[in-house]
Amino acid sequence: MKIALYTYLILAGLELGHLKGFAQIQQPTENGFKIKGFHLDLRIQVMRMPVLKQFALKLSKNGINTLVMEWEASYPYEKHTVISGSHAYSRAEIKSFIAYCDTLNIDVIPLQQSFGHVEYILKHYRYRAIREDEKDYSQVNPIREEECKALFTDLYKDLIKTHHSKYVHIGGDETYLLGHGEESKKKVAAVGKGRLYGDYIKMICELVVGLGKTPVLWADIALHYPEALKGLPKQTIFVDWNYGWDLNRFGDHDQLVKSGFEIWGSPAIRSANDNYFLVDWNKHLENIRSFIPQAKQLGYKGIVMTSWSTSGIYNNIFESGSDLVGMHAIRRVYPISGFNLLIDGYFKALNTDQPLNVDSLVTQYSQEKYGFNKAQSRLFWNALKRTPAEVNQGKVSQPNLTIANLLDSALQSAKELKSLKPSWNKKEYKHYVLLSDIRIYYLVCIKIENEMNASNYTINQIKSLRQELQVLRPEKLDKRFSKLNKHLLFQDEIALENNLRNMRFKQLKAKLGYKN
């Protein structure tokens, strides 16, 4: 095992060089979806503006007419400037981008979270009074309705100045702290969590309607608490995000379908459990294959592909008991530059009346983009989708598999990917190779960490583990990552990505006493 690993690392230059819970079917929308959308998550990995425009052009050429922009701190707020981050665009850039999208017939919908996933707002003590919790800044306190209404009125009015879409996406998903605070607990005891959620969301939806816009929100919490649907403005639109699970995962899906509200669907090309070290290519293509036809059969009026750069859960760094000085996204995913295969699969699925044939898609894509023959295409696809298991606390997610098995699998995939020589689009192909090498690097670290956690581990093993660790050269991976993504991301963001990806390695290095 060790010899094979070392041989591979040297050659690689890493060292030394189906569908359940089907609800009542509505009539399909004539000619497919009226909304053919794509969602961009700029919570981290803020795209440089020229690349953002190029991406919009690509979407337009492939039939996309809607772009949901989760700007978060990349938006240049006026009254609430403190919210804007270091990579916030200028207002001129935002207006120029939307004007450019107008020429492409793409409607740009702003997504402004208004309940959960608002760490980027609440981390600033200006907004301390509306936090649901003093340690977890993810959610506003829905009891502080007037203060929240004032804040989000400002933010939505600001967005409306630069966006002219008829829609405003208010977020509303994954309110993990619902009923958590003392004030919220009292209301929950009186009327229940569904009313707590529903009353607040009703206020936000009515705020948006009052500004002359149509509110759009994620459907997961309303599915869990169907009483939250009552009293919402009739023009409210729900987005049913489904990344490959039963329709009833969040609640009684049939109640949403029968509610009378317009519904859009959302699959994903980047989501949990994707991270730096794992991409489940087959899961995402199967999600596209199954959910898009299902959404059509359910009568959904739109489909919006999500692409999450992070889960939106953060590791907070406190300088003292309650003084926050920094946040890091816990789950970070490889940049969108490496996911053109999945994006193309989405385009293909939207432009056909038949469910996507995944194997045919990959074959066609690899033939057209890289010049592979059928045998090479099969090798490419098998290498990508092989053993997409994760490791958590030393345990492999798939039964009967060990970390050594995963490492062997990753080595085989990397070997096969490197054996293929694309005739063109060589830079794009390098993303797959880099992803495979990053996975090997990670699994070697996991293997060493796992041995150190064994009950029979002793100080006598340090030397051999140190030798295994010395084989790795993460700076080489960092250099390749930087080169492939420098057009897409800002330099300090690339540096942060590299730093966070290497944290486990650095900790092992320090613990084993390995020095350069």
Query: Rounded mean pLDDT of 486-503?
Result: 97
pLDDT digits (tens, 9 = 90+) for 297-322: 999 999 999 999 998 888 888 888 77
3-state secondary structure at position 346? helix
C-beta neighbour count of 481 within 10 angstroms: 24
| pLDDT digit string, tens, across residues 214-271 | 999 999 999 999 999 989 999 999 999 999 999 999 999 999 999 999 999 999 999 9
Which of 350, 384, 418 is the last residue before a domain boundary? 350
**pLDDT for the residue 51:** 98
Rg of the Cα atoms in the chain: 24
Cα–Cα distance, 185 to 410 (Å, whole number)? 48
Residue 23 lies in a domain: no
Instruction: Dig out the tokens for 212 from the structure.
Output: 């002359």
Token digits of residue 416 = 């096969």
**Structural contact between residues 7 and 412, judged by C-beta atoms closer than 8 angstroms:** no
Q: Is the pLDDT of residue 24 over 70?
A: no
The helix/strand count (H/E) of the chain reads as 19, 13
The domain boundary, picked from 334, 350, 366, lies at: 350
pLDDT at 10: 38
For residue 351, is the peptide bond before it cis, meaning its omega torsion is within 30 degrees of 0? no
Instruction: Return d(Cα 29, Cα 298) in angstroms, integer.
Output: 9
Question: pLDDT band at residue 19, thresholds of 50, 70 and 90?
Answer: very low
The first and second tokens of residue 516, run together, are 């350069």
- Do 330 and 373 belong to one domain? no
27-38 pLDDT per residue, tens: 434 458 999 999
Supply the pLDDT for residue 430: 98
Q: Residue 138 is part of which domain span?
A: 35-350
* Confidence at residue 13, expressed as pLDDT on a 0 to 100 scale: 42
| CATH number of the domain where residue 334 is located | 3.20.20.80
Contact 106, 67 (CB under 8 A): yes
In a domain? residue 440: yes
The pLDDT of residue 380: 98
C-alpha 469/C-alpha 510 separation (Å) is: 11
Q: What's the average model confidence in pLDDT over 207-216?
A: 98
What pLDDT, on the 0 to 100 scale, is given for residue 316? 87
Total of domains in the chain: 2
| Residue 516: per-residue pLDDT | 60
Q: In the prediction, which pLDDT does 330 show?
A: 87
Domain end among 314, 330, 350: 350
Q: What integer pLDDT is reported at residue 31 of this predicted model?
A: 52
Phi first, then psi: give them for residue 481, nearest 5 degrees. -60, -45
pTM for this predicted structure: 0.92
Mark whether 252 and 371 lie in a shared domain. Answer: no
